[in-house]
Amino acid sequence: IAAGMRYLAEAGFVHRDLAARNILVDAHLVCKVSDFGLSRALDGDRDSDPTYTSSLGGKIPIRWTAPEAIAFRTFTSASDAWSYGIVMWEVLSFGERPYWDMSNQDV
């Protein structure tokens, strides 16, 4: 998963929907990142911190999205790294829902 996300970051893209539900696992336990429907090309040069800023009104997966990406609707490879942490939590908790019974508003 990390190698796939590194590839996306180096190619100048942000996934924005990294979650266990979007990881495909084959018979040899090789994982592949999937569902690129929310993916976007990052703006800016590679020497600065490339970002993608979404317009208001678009849906974002609250439980998997970094707090600063929710607050400012600005996505970077760092916000994908936050999502990767949530994916690892999903894996290690055997598929539990992130933030259990909290509402999206509370998250």
In this structure, the number of other CB atoms found within 10 A of the CB of residue 75 comes to 26
Has 17 been annotated as catalytic? yes
* pLDDT tier at 78, thresholds 50, 70, 90: very high
Output the pTM of the full model: 0.90
Q: Which CATH superfamily is domain 1-36+50-106 in?
A: Transferase(Phosphotransferase) domain 1 (1.10.510.10)
Domain boundaries, the chain: 1-36+50-106
Which residue out of 17, 45, 49, 80 is catalytically annotated?
17
List pLDDT tens digits, range 28-66. Answer: 999 999 999 999 999 876 566 789 998 877 789 999 999
Using alpha carbons only, give the angle 74, 1, 41 rounded to the nearest 5 degrees: 35
List pLDDT tens digits, range 7-36. Answer: 999 999 999 999 999 999 999 999 999 999
